[in-house]
Amino acid sequence: MSLANLFSPINLGDISLKHRVVMAPLTRSRSAQPGDIPQALNVEYYQQRASAGLIITEATQVSPQGKGYAFTPGIHSEQQIQGWKAITDAVHAKGSKIVLQLWHVGRISHSAIQLNGELPVAPSAIAPEGQAFTEQGFLDFETPRALESNEIASIVEQFKQAAINAKQAGFDGVEVHAANGYLLDQFLKDGTNQRSDNYGGSIENRARLTLEVTAAVAEVWGSGRVGVRISPTGTFNSMSDSRPQALFNHLTEQLSPMNLAYLHVVENFAGASNEGFSFAQIRSRFAGAYMANGGYGAESAEQAIANDSTDVVSFGAPFIANPDLPERFKQGADLNELDQDTLYGGGAKGYTDYPSLVTVSS
């Protein structure tokens, strides 16, 4: 099958891509300690995958409060900024583009991770199911503290400062993480947001924080270098909404006039319930580039672009196991098998030791 569409160039706002095979954000929990600092091993990992049309980094803490998983990187200290600068330089040297995913986990954290042992924050004091991944191992999630109305501005500021820091680190743009059950998604969905102020209740109110964060980040970067990631049907991290189509149609309609680089939509993820949901309605409401994510292969991605159901496709797990994924797609080569046991934490094993086609043939 021809992959002419998948390997055609495109501009995502002000970010020009050589082709449309995008590396999705992938948490790998391998930053240097103490300090959650990107290190040489991370430089090698991203440089290996720099044949991607665009790399979206692993989710990155916008602040100490935004941290939810052990060993994940941040973008709130000078050491972290310099660690990321080594990565952006390496990716640019290979001719690719890279954007930083900005992340506040909200309630998906634990007091063992938070500064001074404070409780994680959330829109409402509702505990998720499951356990937090901490430096002390897995601990049961706690009931978070509901943010006060006068604290919301500080959340917006955390994202804005992280965007400033990302610019200093040499990125080509940033992605606002409003998906997969983290803080902005918690505000969006009524299963986790039971507030009665201007950030709760109606769809318009629940969308407010995501829109304010996106606007603040766009002030730093210019809207054409900002993407937003959403997961309308995602149930990961104990998420639910009573009217997801209406909610995300509204959010998309509000994001569209901002002239963003792209809207990154998680269409399939662990536990997603897509029954009765139309991603085509999201696509039709967004004037900019639509990026699809979730379970795509080369042929299905090509078909989706040909059918105009998406503009670009991001690939997650295949990029972990195949550092040269675009070339494998082009050649129709077999893909390496993913080692699930080495996804989170550890060293080079299952991180930078997956073979490329050049390695295999030499």
* Confidence label for 271 from pLDDT (cuts 50, 70 and 90): low
Reported as a single tens digit per residue, the pLDDT across 282-335 is 999 999 999 999 999 999 999 999 999 999 999 999 999 999 999 999 999 999
182 counts as catalytic: yes
Round to whole Å and give the CA distance between 74 and 235.
25
Round to whole Å and give the CA distance between 68 and 64.
9
Q: Between the CA atoms of 234, 235, 240 and 246, what dihedral angle is there, to the nearest 10 degrees?
A: 10
Please indicate, yes or no, whether the overall pTM of this predicted structure exceeds 0.95.
yes
* Confidence label for 82 from pLDDT (cuts 50, 70 and 90): very high
Taking CA atoms, 261 is separated from 10, 305, 323, in Å, by: 11, 17, 25
Indicate which residue of 45, 46, 69, 182 is catalytic: 182
What is the pairing mode between strands 131-134 and 137-140? antiparallel
Round to whole Å and give the CA distance between 217 and 250.
20
Round to whole Å and give the CA distance between 264 and 101.
11
Percent of the chain with pLDDT over 70: 98
Reported as a single tens digit per residue, the pLDDT across 127-183 is 999 999 999 999 999 999 999 999 999 999 999 999 999 999 999 999 999 999 999
Average pLDDT, the chain: 97
The answer to whether 61 and 136 are in contact (CB under 8 A) is no
Round to whole Å and give the CA distance between 177 and 229.
5
Amino acid identity of residue 102, one-letter, is: L
CA triplet 63, 68, 73: central angle to 5 degrees? 60
Segment 107-115 shows an average pLDDT of 97
3-state secondary structure of 75: coil
Q: Which pLDDT score is estimated for 270?
A: 67
Span of 109-118, 127-136, 183-192, 272-281 with lowest mean pLDDT: 272-281
Q: Which pLDDT score is estimated for 1?
A: 80
C-alpha radius of gyration, the chain, whole number: 19
Q: Which pLDDT score is estimated for 362?
A: 43
HEC assignment per residue over 295-318: CCCHHHHHHHHHCCCCCEEEECHH
Reported as a single tens digit per residue, the pLDDT across 49-59 is 999 999 999 99
The DSSP output letter for 5 is: T
Q: CA quadruple 178, 179, 183, 187: dihedral positive or negative?
A: positive
Q: Which pLDDT score is estimated for 359?
A: 64
**274 pLDDT more than 90:** no
Within 10 Å of residue 318's Cβ, how many Cβ atoms?
A: 19
> Which residue has better confidence, 360 or 120?
120
The residues that bridge with 11 in the sheet, in sequence order, are 16
Q: Which pLDDT score is estimated for 222?
A: 98
3-state secondary structure of 244: helix
Segment 190-194 shows an average pLDDT of 98
Burial 181-206 (b: 16+ CB within 10 A, else e): bbbbbbbbbbbbbebeeebbeebebb
Amino acid identity of residue 2, one-letter, is: S
Reported as a single tens digit per residue, the pLDDT across 215-256 is 999 999 999 999 999 999 999 999 999 999 999 999 999 999
Q: Which pLDDT score is estimated for 291?
A: 98
Q: Which pLDDT score is estimated for 275?
A: 84
**33 pLDDT more than 90:** yes
Within 10 Å of residue 271's Cβ, how many Cβ atoms?
A: 12
- Residues 6 or more apart in contact with residue 93 via CB below 8 angstroms: 47, 50
* Confidence label for 273 from pLDDT (cuts 50, 70 and 90): confident
Q: Between the CA atoms of 312, 85, 183 and 26, what dihedral angle is there, to the nearest 10 degrees?
A: 50
